[in-house]
Chain A
Amino acid sequence: MVGLNDALAMFVVGIPIVASSLILLIVFLFNVKKRTVAVISLTFGIAELIGIAYVAYLALTAQYSSALNNLLIYDGFSTVPILVASFVLQLYLASLYVSEENLQMVSILSAAGFLAILASFLLATTSSIALFISSWLMLSISSYAAVGAFKTKETSDAALKYAIMGTLSTLFIVMWLGTGAYLPGDNIYSSNWYGSGKLFLLASAFLLAGVGFKLGVFPFHWWMPDVYTFAEGRAIALITGVAKVGAILGFARMIYYMFYVGPSEQLIDFIAVMSILTMTFGNIAALTTRLLPRILAYSSIAQVGYIMVGIVGMLYGASIGNQELVYLASSGISIQTIGYSLAKSASYLFSGEMGTAAMDEKLRGIFKTDSISAASLAIFLLSLLGLPPLVGFWGKLYLFESAVSYSFLLVMIAIINSGISSYYYGRLISVLFSEKGEKEGVLKFRITYIIVATLLFILGIGILQVLLPHLSIRTL
């Protein structure tokens, strides 16, 4: 008997598969117009959005629910950010049809987008190890496809780096399996299988290396500034806005359930140190960079550092048996991911419009020719900086708050890091609003920018606070 939840899950999983295959097929086999492709992909995209919205609705009303024999866990923690990611996907698809003439490219990028949302959805919700790994591969492949679709020298170089480093990191995920993660069963939290603490730590290290690569956790982040700088802006918008959402949420869920089975003080301390290194590296390195996408890349690394502060809070809550702390921390991760997905993807779209590897000087005086887009970019950056009442502020607030009881020092360092980051965000904004400028005309994606900026504001002035009690991870 197929229940509502199962049917819904199959719908949400099926749509992207059908959509990506269909788009690729009709573009490569038949001579169709761009409009047809646009209609098909937006229709499927909206159907996917509705499906995920319904999943999120179920998760929020019932607090938790599950599908496919507990293979997928629906909780507010994962479904709401994925809903935002699927919305970002619509913006991404729309931007493709506005800006790209080459139909084959459009089809590849659209298909990559659909696969990315599918992989993200599965990663974020699953507790099955097998599904986690297969979705991980799908996520990686769709990301390579998006980066590699553009055929310039720089983007090819970036795609190659991305692929090689990705393969390397996937190796570590396989090694994670090798520690025996799979032995007691497919479900990550099925039973206590880590006999010795050392084995658990080894498993954590492998998982951290494998997933941390994608997130940009120090010291696995080396590829990131290069790839984010030289790849096409829209591809990075897809990665940061859609793919990374699944990676963050999946990582948080896996490490939390794993930890729940084999708690270890050492791991918490270790992740705390990694988070400090990650955000400090990101923020310091961003200070002197003059390339716009590179600044954004370093800031991405720093943002992951903040999210890891929340992971520390969550694990600490689990280790001392404080459920409230777990709720707070996981909601913080969820909100921060939402803010990250919106602000970062839109910023990369913006950066892409300035050209590949654009200098920050290219932003000079944009507010005179397109003040709305300039103001929107300022809002993205301010949200990343964490200015109230934008989404980024609430994310950081809850993340940092959750870690206070673990270590006040960690939170102080995180706050100091936020302070440091205000320098490069502030510099970008001041360039944006400076008097002199030679730009003409309005930007292509200004509608997208306006929508995202409005969302960042509106979500921050009440909606997230209302949702907050429902955004927590499903505890065991």
Chain B
Amino acid sequence: MMDLVILYLLAVIQPFIFSAIISILYSVKKLPGYLSVFSLIMSTISSAYILYSIIEKSLNGVLSISQFSNISFSLSFFVDSYTGVMMVLVSFLSLVIAIYSLYYMDGDEGYGRYFAYFTFFVGSMLLVVSADNLLLLFLGWEGTGLASYALIGHWRHDEKERMIGEEGRVVANTPMFSYPSVSGLRALLFTRVPDILMLIGIFAVYAYTGTFEISNIFITKAQFLLELARTGMLLPIMFLLSIGALAKSAQFPFHEWLVTAMTGPTPVSALIHAATMVKAGVYYMVRITPIFVYGAKELLAENPAIGQVVIAQVQTFYYGLMIIGAITAFSLASMALVAREAKLILAYSTGSQLGFMFAGIGASIFSSMPSLVLAFVVAHLIAHAVFKAGLFLGAGIYIHSNESRFIDEWADVHKMRITTSFNWLLVLSLAGLPPFIGFWTKDSLISSYLSSGMLIPASLLLITVLFTAFYSTRYLLYSHRYPAKEEEPHEPPVYVLSTYGILAILSIGLGILWPLFGEKLFEFLSYSFLEPIKGMTGEELTVIVSSISLVLIGILLSSLSYQFKFIDSKKVISSMPELNDFLRDRWLINILFYNIGVAFLKLGELTYRFVERGLDLGINYGLPKLTSNLSKYFRKPISGDLYSYVLYFVTGIIIVILVLLFI
């Protein structure tokens, strides 16, 4: 047990310490980067060893480091398959991205600052995926929020080439572009407001259960749901607990922050999209879902009358979650179809893939084996993390060598043979083509949508599969058809190539090996979700066929337009400009949020004018004046005149006696 404590400290707490050290030594040339990489190596090794111990000793429990007797706050961590896998994933991907950052951020003005926040970010995320205590989890959760704010707004001088969107594009008085400093704030605001609701939810859970520890709530879940249902708080509490995750994972309509977050350095995008931040929401939802899903089932067995009601409510809620996931997946994929900016395409695809995961979480309630569906979600999360990190790292190289973030300003990327080969592996994984890993995990999810029997979300998601195949291949094929420059791009150094190289090889290698270990992974993960799975039924052939055919159609369409040049995509677009604009303007959701923001600013102005200025006057002028006068007034009787003193004294004693005797 002691070993585990040290390992958890090394894996989770150590990055925070290194972050502090880096912020002290921020100005030493190159050192921050090396320190950060060193810290993440330690974290990765410790995480791997933790995972190894969990597999070896079949651990499935909680590690409590300290227990204060009179406050119900403890440093308790999960020791189970889910946390072990997530810790390895987060620390390993962050390490790869950190090595890439050594190259990418070299010579940057904020080099030390970047790595200090980077390490802090990873530590926070590791805290999220390992904490059993909800408050501890929330601490990490807010840490990721803070770090993302700093990193998205890293280039604080707001140079033109750092912005996102097309400069000057204004729709309905709403700018459709964003600068780093604004984007950082947006990320902070978009996640902070729901976070407050989430914190309220956490305290509400405490009020009902008397504990902050998820593992304890697992034990009393039926009782917890019963209490919630009796007080009519089931849906509100579920809403409060999930809203933070929805915002963090950029689900519709909160996806706006993720889009503008592309102003950060490209490795930061890789970090946010692959390993940290947006994955925190999915992680957390998967972590708490067993409480509701299995709690409702348990209650149904114990007390059918109230169990019926509870399960109906939980199903309603999760159906809503599935719809949100489906809308997110569909809407963002549709935006990706026409996007011009490389990072935007990837950002849309992240949101879209997260939509798939949320839809999966929503579908779990309708499955006969919810823990299996949750394991599918986690598998897709892993697969997506691997290929999306690689794609972003590759995009960074393209943007660097072409000095443009627009794919229609790139030279033919196929001239960079090595980089583009790797990127093809990653893109096909995203597209969901067999035998890439993306195919297997997406396929499992699709089967769970279909078996849930929910027609609307399932069909939306199926269309999205086609969209995904199209936009992902378009991403690399576009510059083949419309190359803008004719110069020879350069490959980056080998160690940089190797970062996304490893991820590309992983995405195909794991895919090929999937039939060997996929089921074992699901079984292993399901241990964390309260219902271990033993032996799975084979997948339905119809699902595989339909999903492969959708992917192939998508790839075919994109090849016809950009590879074989049968269809001129520019002509197609110009034939329906309204739709094109609608998609490019991100379904105009931004207008809503922008105007909410503007309304708040107006409100702020009003508050300033009528409240703040009054307070300012009152506090800085009125109050001192008042106290000063009061003080002088109080001292007035003390005039130095003995007669008056005697008078006051005697008056005083008379009043005292009168008060004491007659009141």
Quick check: is B649 within 8 A (CB to CB) of the other chain?
yes
Contacts of A165 in B (CB 8 A): 642, 645-646, 649
Contacts of B630 in A (CB 8 A): 284
With contacts A164-B642, A201-B661, A205-B657 known, is A222 near B649, CB below 8 A? Answer: yes
Binds B, one of A36-44, A285-293, A391-399: A285-293
Once the chains bind, are B657 and A202 in contact (CB under 8 Å)?
yes
| A204 to B661 alpha-carbon distance, docked (Å) | 11
With contacts A284-B627, A284-B634 known, is A202 near B649, CB below 8 A? Answer: no
| A201 to B663 alpha-carbon distance, docked (Å) | 11
| A95 to B661 alpha-carbon distance, docked (Å) | 48
Closest to A267 in B: B660
Once the chains bind, are B631 and A222 in contact (CB under 8 Å)?
no
Could you mark each residue 616-633 of chain B with 1 if its beta carbon is under 8 Å from any beta carbon of chain A, else 0?
Answer: 000000000001101110
Quick check: is A129 within 8 A (CB to CB) of the other chain?
no
Classify chain A: how many residues form its interface, as a range: 20 to 34
- Contact check: which of B637, B645, B652, B661 meets A202 at CB < 8 Å? B661
Interface residues of A in 188-224 (CB under 8 A from B): 198, 201-202, 204-205, 208-209, 213, 218-220, 222-223
| A421 to B628 alpha-carbon distance, docked (Å) | 14
Closest to A274 in B: B656
Quick check: is A310 within 8 A (CB to CB) of the other chain?
no
Quick check: is A251 within 8 A (CB to CB) of the other chain?
no
Once the chains bind, are B635 and A209 in contact (CB under 8 Å)?
no
Least Cβ–Cβ distance between B149 and chain A, in angstroms: 34
Once the chains bind, are A289 and B635 in contact (CB under 8 Å)?
yes
With contacts A222-B637, A281-B634, A288-B632 known, is A201 near B645, CB below 8 A? Answer: no
With contacts A161-B642, A266-B660 known, is A288 near B649, CB below 8 A? Answer: no
Contacts of B653 in A (CB 8 A): 172, 205, 209, 220
Could you mark each residue 262-275 of chain A with 1 if its beta carbon is under 8 Å from any beta carbon of chain B, else 0?
Answer: 00001100100000
Quick check: is A225 within 8 A (CB to CB) of the other chain?
yes
Contacts of A284 in B (CB 8 A): 627, 630-631, 634
Contacts of A266 in B (CB 8 A): 660, 663
Chain A interface main SS type? helix
Quick check: is A160 within 8 A (CB to CB) of the other chain?
yes
Quick check: is A458 within 8 A (CB to CB) of the other chain?
no
| A267 to B663 alpha-carbon distance, docked (Å) | 11
Quick check: is B648 within 8 A (CB to CB) of the other chain?
yes
Quick check: is B541 within 8 A (CB to CB) of the other chain?
no
Closest to B629 in A: A288
Contacts of B652 in A (CB 8 A): 209, 218-220
Chain B interface main SS type? helix
Interface residues of A in 214-252 (CB under 8 A from B): 218-220, 222-223, 225-226
| A161 to B632 alpha-carbon distance, docked (Å) | 22
| A205 to B640 alpha-carbon distance, docked (Å) | 26
Closest to B642 in A: A161
With contacts A161-B642, A220-B649 known, is A288 near B628, CB below 8 A? Answer: yes
| A205 to B655 alpha-carbon distance, docked (Å) | 10
Quick check: is B638 within 8 A (CB to CB) of the other chain?
yes
Once the chains bind, are A285 and B649 in contact (CB under 8 Å)?
no
Closest to B660 in A: A201
Once the chains bind, are A225 and B632 in contact (CB under 8 Å)?
no
Interface residues of A in 74-128 (CB under 8 A from B): none
- Contact check: which of A201, A208, A226 meets B640 at CB < 8 Å? A226
| A270 to B655 alpha-carbon distance, docked (Å) | 12
| A205 to B634 alpha-carbon distance, docked (Å) | 23
- Contact check: which of A169, A220, A223, A270 meets B660 at CB < 8 Å? A270
Least Cβ–Cβ distance between A74 and chain B, in angstroms: 33
| A368 to B635 alpha-carbon distance, docked (Å) | 33
With contacts A205-B656, A226-B638, A284-B627 known, is A213 near B649, CB below 8 A? Answer: yes
- Contact check: which of B635, B651, B660 meets A288 at CB < 8 Å? B635
Once the chains bind, are B649 and A219 in contact (CB under 8 Å)?
yes
The tally of residues in B whose CB lies under 8 Å from a CB in A reads: 27
Contacts of B651 in A (CB 8 A): 219
| A209 to B638 alpha-carbon distance, docked (Å) | 18
Contacts of B628 in A (CB 8 A): 287-288
Quick check: is A68 within 8 A (CB to CB) of the other chain?
no
| A226 to B642 alpha-carbon distance, docked (Å) | 10
| A202 to B637 alpha-carbon distance, docked (Å) | 26
Closest to A169 in B: B649
Least Cβ–Cβ distance between A309 and chain B, in angstroms: 18
Quick check: is B659 within 8 A (CB to CB) of the other chain?
yes
Once the chains bind, are B660 and A204 in contact (CB under 8 Å)?
yes
| A4 to B649 alpha-carbon distance, docked (Å) | 45
Contacts of A161 in B (CB 8 A): 642, 645
| A165 to B653 alpha-carbon distance, docked (Å) | 13
Closest to A273 in B: B659
- Contact check: which of B638, B655, B660, B663 meets A222 at CB < 8 Å? B638
Least Cβ–Cβ distance between A152 and chain B, in angstroms: 15
| A220 to B646 alpha-carbon distance, docked (Å) | 9
Contacts of A223 in B (CB 8 A): 645
Least Cβ–Cβ distance between A18 and chain B, in angstroms: 37
Once the chains bind, are A287 and B631 in contact (CB under 8 Å)?
yes
Least Cβ–Cβ distance between A446 and chain B, in angstroms: 32
With contacts A164-B642, A165-B645, A284-B627 known, is A208 near B635, CB below 8 A? Answer: no
Contacts of B650 in A (CB 8 A): 168
Most chain B CB neighbours (cut-off 10 Å) among A202, A205, A226, A289: A205
Least Cβ–Cβ distance between B631 and chain A, in angstroms: 4
- Contact check: which of A172, A198, A222, A287 meets B645 at CB < 8 Å? A222
Least Cβ–Cβ distance between A177 and chain B, in angstroms: 16
Contacts of A289 in B (CB 8 A): 631, 635
- Identify the B interface with A (CB < 8 A): 627-628, 630-632, 634-635, 637-638, 640, 642, 644-646, 648-653, 655-657, 659-661, 663
Top 4 closest A-B pairs, CB basis?
Answer: A219-B652, A288-B631, A287-B631, A222-B645
Q: A270-B659, A285-B634 are in contact. List 6 more A-B contacts (CB 8 A).
A: A165-B645, A205-B657, A205-B660, A209-B653, A222-B644, A288-B632
A-B contact pairs, 29 of them (CB 8 A): A161-B645, A164-B642, A165-B649, A168-B650, A172-B653, A198-B661, A202-B657, A204-B660, A205-B653, A205-B656, A205-B660, A208-B656, A219-B651, A219-B652, A219-B655, A220-B652, A220-B653, A222-B645, A223-B645, A225-B635, A226-B640, A266-B660, A267-B660, A270-B659, A270-B660, A284-B634, A287-B627, A287-B628, A288-B635
